[in-house]
């Protein structure tokens, strides 16, 4: 009974967000989701280049319903690699995805703030952090009075995952359910 309720909730979430599977093939969605998960795991282990490679492979599969999530994750990884201009571009790509993506957008703003801060663009970073906080008040802006290494590596802060791990699993489950229910003609 509990599993049926969870699957129903997942399907409702997909329908409410407007990110159904119509544009994604079940195969590309599943493969992109697996690569995204691998990327999150690798980043968690500090293997940022490998994590970026997995993210790039996921993007290449063109699973449009996962693009915002993947790009948000890439932004955080690119900050950790001190590739801050690219991180800003990835965050902006995630922010450009329309839909009910508050969690993805909040972390994208935060990652963009980290990139801007590392580049010494403090006013812009503060604005990005304010956007993140407005969407998710758990994303508290860092202390901007602390010295920030401008080009000597990433900002010394805990990298933010695009979504909490549990929510990532639920989101992935939602999309898999949608594939099973709506993906076949």
Closest residue by Cα to residue 175 from 77, 62, 32:
32
Output the six-digit token pair for 182: 């709506």
Residue 145, pLDDT score = 78
- Supply the pLDDT for residue 99: 86
Element (H or E) spanning 54, and its range?
A: helix 48-60
- Of 154, 163, 145, 160, nearest to 66 by C-alpha is 163
pLDDT of residue 27: 85
pLDDT at 12: 33
What structural domains does the chain harbor? 27-182 (1.25.40.10)
Question: What DSSP designation does 144 have?
Answer: T
- Give which of 144, 138, 97, 139 is closest to 125, Cα–Cα: 144
pLDDT tens per residue across all 185 residues of the chain: 333 333 333 333 333 344 444 466 888 889 999 999 999 999 999 999 999 999 999 999 989 889 999 999 999 999 999 999 999 999 999 999 998 899 999 999 999 999 999 999 999 999 999 999 999 999 999 988 766 554 333 333 334 444 444 444 444 444 444 444 344 44
Q: What is the pLDDT of residue 157?
A: 35
Q: How far apart are CA 140 and CA 85, in angstroms?
A: 23
Per-residue pLDDT tens digits for 128-153:
999 999 999 999 999 887 665 543 33
Sign of CA dihedral 87, 90, 12, 62: negative
């Amino acid at each position: 009974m509990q599993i049926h309720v969870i699957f129903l909730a997942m399907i409702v979430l997909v329908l409410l967000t407007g990110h159904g599977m119509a544009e994604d093939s079940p195969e590309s969605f599943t493969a992109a989701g697996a690569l995204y998960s691998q990327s999150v795991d690798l980043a968690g282990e500090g293997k940022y280049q490998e994590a970026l490679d997995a993210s790039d492979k996921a993007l290449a599969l063109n699973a449009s319903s996962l693009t915002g999530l993947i790009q948000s994750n890439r932004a955080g990884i690119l900050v950790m690699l001190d590739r801050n201009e690219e991180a800003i571009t990835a965050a902006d790509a995630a922010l450009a995805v329309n839909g009910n993506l508050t969690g993805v957008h909040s972390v994208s703003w935060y990652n963009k703030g980290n990139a801007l801060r590392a580049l010494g663009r403090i006013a812009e970073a503060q604005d990005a952090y304010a956007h993140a906080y407005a969407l998710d008040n758990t994303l508290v802006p860092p202390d901007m009075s602390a010295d920030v290494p401008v080009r000597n590596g990433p900002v010394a802060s805990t990298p933010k995952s695009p979504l909490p791990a549990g929510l990532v699993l639920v989101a992935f489950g939602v999309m898999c359910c949608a594939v099973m229910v709506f993906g076949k003609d």
